[in-house]
Structure 1
Amino acid sequence: MVSADPTSIAGKTFPLRGRFDHLVIGAGEAGIAAARAAAASGAKTLLVDEHPLDPGLFGLDIPYLFGARFDAAIGNAARMEERVVAARPDLIAAMEDGVEVALGTAAWGGFVKAAASHVFPTPVIGLADREAAWLVACDRVTLAIGARDVVLPFPGWTLPGVMGARGFDALLRLYGAFSGRRIAVLGSDALAEGVVTSARAAGLEVVLRLAAPTPLCIAGREEVTGLAWQDGATWRDIACDTVVMAVDTVPMVDLPELLGCAIAWDTARGSFVPAGQGPVTVVGDAAGTAPAARDAWLRLALAEDHALVCACEEVTAGDLRALRPPRYLEAAGPEAGLAALGTLNQDQVKRLTRAGMGPCQGRRCRESVHALLSRDRPAPLASYRAPLRPLPLSVLAALEEDPALRANWTGWFGIAAQWLPHWEPVPENPEFIGGRLSGEDVVK
């Protein structure tokens, strides 16, 4: 009789903090409406939203491009929660309908029954706040996680004061913590018009709106001090403390992908769009945003090789075109550059150049990298892995484990010869035979 594999998670218990009939992620208009409808049908419903954010995420531009244009108010968690509830009055109505609401709670992962994981009878979602991470199970999931800002890599875009339309809206309307006074807006569609209208209603000075794509440079040494742009054959400039990139947004598809949703390129929208699948439903902006003319802006911004695409890893457009490895390797890329790859793949380019591997997890550079790869046809979607939000180790350490899993963590996948625990001495002259480490130092 063959004994059960002690390192397998099959048959193990997943410690859960709760089990719900319906879990809704995202407490915007679409999410609140979905949660109230679920509760009205008699379902035990949990509604979670990552706002108010941990202050550290603002500095990482997660989930929006905040551009460091926030004031000290974001550090007051209680005050920010009051602001979020005040900005979304239907949250109170949802709680009165019997919806359990958890604010300041992010979904960092999702697990469903699939080809590579048969142990999940129902979806299991990883949640976390500032103190701990935990798991909940549910029968149905509604994703109302919204959209994020598209970043244009013009010179100076990394300066504090350069932000996205969603970041601007969140700081101004949701948090009441926007610190700018004179703003310039890039964009011609409803997104840009909404920024201009909101700014003027808040008493801010809109000094410029550039509707048509044009070469530009954001001025400043430590933060934004102005914007220069080309007007025909003449360069003009204007003083401002904030530049809002309101050219486009794209649906957040990271959690839908982890939960097994089909995600396809939508030519009309110019972005990847998820579709609900099985127990997962996608609603609101996460299901697709209005089309916008960002392609011309991106082509213009990426025309020069020195355009900084990935600020976290300091990867330029020229580095990507040449598939140049990270500078610390002091190596050259293939002579043919991108053309040497054949069928282009964003994950492959990420591993070769490190573009998208920084702390922002690619949120600021994905569209630029994709635009460079999509010469003839849209390149495949870059993959996502949990955790979808940066989490302190202290938060992850609070995640409960089944004792049987904890007892066997040193036998990762049961392949003892591929890994040595930190307390074992490293062999001086290891020999690998048939993929296994030989000698007495093999982990038992």
Structure 2
Amino acid sequence: MKVDLLIIGAGPAGMAAALAAAPSGARIAVIDDNPAPGGQIWRDGPLAHLPEKARTLRQALMEADNVQVFSGTRVVALAGAKRLLVEDAERGWTLTYDKLILCIGARELLLPFPGWTLPGVTGAGGLQALIKGGLPVTGERIVIAGSGPLLLASAATARNAGASVLRVAEQASLTTLAGFSARLLRWPGKAMQAMGLLDVGYRPSSHVLAALGRERLEAVRLQQGTKVVEIPCDCLACGFGLIPNTQLGELLGCRVEQQAIAVDDWQACSLDDHFAAGECTGFGGSELALVEGAIAGHAAVGNRDLARALWPQRRHWQGFADALAHSFALDPKLKSLAQADTLVCRCEDVPFAELANRCNWNDAKLHNRCGMGACQGRVCGAAGQFLFGWTPPSPRPPLSPARIDTLRCLEAEGAPMVDR
């Protein structure tokens, strides 16, 4: 298959990019591994309540004759110059493009602490996704901990689904949060949204110490200011912020700076004809993702005047992103959560003690198989960067589990089947 413009990811940035580029008449393909456009923030499901903005964008995408959306589809590997190997539930095929926009989003930063592998412990965003997908939580006692606005959003989702949210533990201090709240006046809509999400169980200067239980989670131990408290609960959801997904960009050869794909004023990457937008270029919320996606879409089809006209909006929302990053920066004391026997690499059962004396990621991998499991270092790689300052592992194809028949497409293209 050959297209003029390929967009990877159908979250806010991806949808905005496709709709901005569509009037040019270019042949556009959008691929996304979710069942429907919307990304993680507008994830669909039996218990999801999509905002009007999400429904409007999704409808416009369906009505664009020159835009083809491939849902439930993921990138497996590179298949040559400007050619990707992709796969859905039924088949694998190669997709060739003239220009590409990466809108591959971000994922949660998960940090290890005693008991974090117990059944009943999830990520904060993971809990939200599970509930939207139909997980029953009515009557469940839930504690949410970590850092950032996602904690309050997850708490609201759980509460609306019938759960009892006992505590929202935010590691940022009250002074820092007060300063952030004052700065929110620049973005009245965000201020109103924050007011609507406030939770009576919200506690600043609080963080998880341990998840307690034998066969599954029974309680959580929290550091709350100067006190240590234990709260019986059925579910603990922890998220310590978001980190950009950069793997595909790195594999393509795009420059990465400060853990995000580096872009210029046009959202162009360091690689010619490649652009990036949304949270893979840095976390800033859906508003920033929408305007970055629109800039990238216009620029990719040569409409630079329309792209430039959106720069003031981007500056406005970039200010909000900067305020988020400053206010919810992680306290170094979180590096001491893991104990000697706390697993850091869950896939390969590698505890903290076996990593503490290693000098870098490759050293840890060679001695302990760290990062060689199912997640391929996506979880422990980010944790290792925070805990030890290690550079995360470089991505290697296949980027996700794939069928043998799909990998054989590479053989037909003359490309190596896997990176050796």
| Structure showing greater relative contact order (alpha-carbon pairs closer than 8 Å, 6 or more residues apart) | 2
Query: In 1, Cα distance between the equivalents of 2:118 and 2:232?
Result: 15
Equivalent residue, structure 1, for 2:118: 159
Deviation at 1:183, TM superposition (A): 1.5
Kept in 2, the 8 Å contact 1:346–1:380? The answer is yes
Flag the structure with larger Rg.
1
Deviations 1:161-191 (A, max 9, x none): 2222332232233x33465732111134322
Aligned residue identity for 2:121: V
Q: Give the counterpart letter for 1:382 in structure 2.
A: P
| 8 Å contact from structure 1 (residues 24, 48) kept in 2 | yes
* Superposition map of 1:31-430 within 5 A: 31-52=14-35, 88-89=54-55, 90-98=57-65, 99-110=67-78, 120=81, 123-173=82-132, 175-177=133-135, 179=137, 181-211=140-170, 212-214=205-207, 216-231=209-224, 235-265=228-258, 271-275=259-263, 276-277=269-270, 278-289=272-283, 290-291=324-325, 292-296=328-332, 298-302=334-338, 304-323=339-358, 338=359, 345-374=360-389, 379-393=390-404, 395-397=406-408, 399=409, 401-402=411-412, 405=414
Report the AA paired with residue 164 of structure 1: G
DSSP 3-state at the match of 2:379? coil
Query: Contact 2:143–2:165 (CA<8 Å) still a contact in 1?
Result: yes
Q: Which moved more, 1:198-207 or 1:30-39?
A: 198-207
- Compute the TM-score of the two structures, normalised by the length of structure 2: 0.70
Root mean square deviation of aligned Cα: 3.2
Long gaps (5+) in structure 2: 171-204, 264-268, 284-323
Identity of counterpart residues, as a percentage?
33
Change in Cα spacing, 1:46 to 1:280, as seen in structure 2 (3 Å) is same
Instruction: Write the deviation string for residues 57-88 of structure 1: whole angstroms up to 9, x where unpaired.
Output: xxxxxx99xxxxxxxxxxxxxx9699799995
Where does structure 1 lack aligned partners over 5 or more consecutive residues? 1-17, 54-62, 65-78, 113-119, 266-270, 324-337, 339-344, 414-444
Q: Deviations over 1:143-177 (max 9, x none)?
A: 1111111112111111222222332232233x334
Q: CA deviation at 1:49?
A: 0.9
**Per-residue deviation, 1:350:** 2.0
Cα offset, 1:37, TM superposition: 1.4
TM-superposed deviation, 1:31: 0.7
Partner Cα separation in structure 2 for residue 111 and residue 263 of structure 1: 22
After TM superposition, give the deviation of residue 133 of structure 1 in Å.
Answer: 1.8
Task: Give, as a single letter, the amino acid of the residue that structure 2 aligns with 1:41.
Answer: S
Higher helix share: 2
Does the C-alpha gap of structure 1 residues 264 and 351 become closer, same or farther in structure 2, counting only changes over 3 Å?
Answer: farther
Q: 1:190 to 1:37 in 2, by over 3 A?
A: same
TM-score by length of 1: 0.66
1:237-267 deviations in whole A, cap 9, x for unaligned?
22222211132110001011011110022xx
User: Aligned in 2, Cα 1:371/1:82: closer, same or farther, shift over 3 Å?
Assistant: closer
**Equivalent residue runs for 1:426-437 within 5 Å:** none
Separation in structure 1 between the aligned mates of residue 48 and residue 10 of structure 2, nearest angstrom: 14
CA distance in 2, matches of 1:49, 1:314: 31
Q: CA deviation at 1:372?
A: 3.4
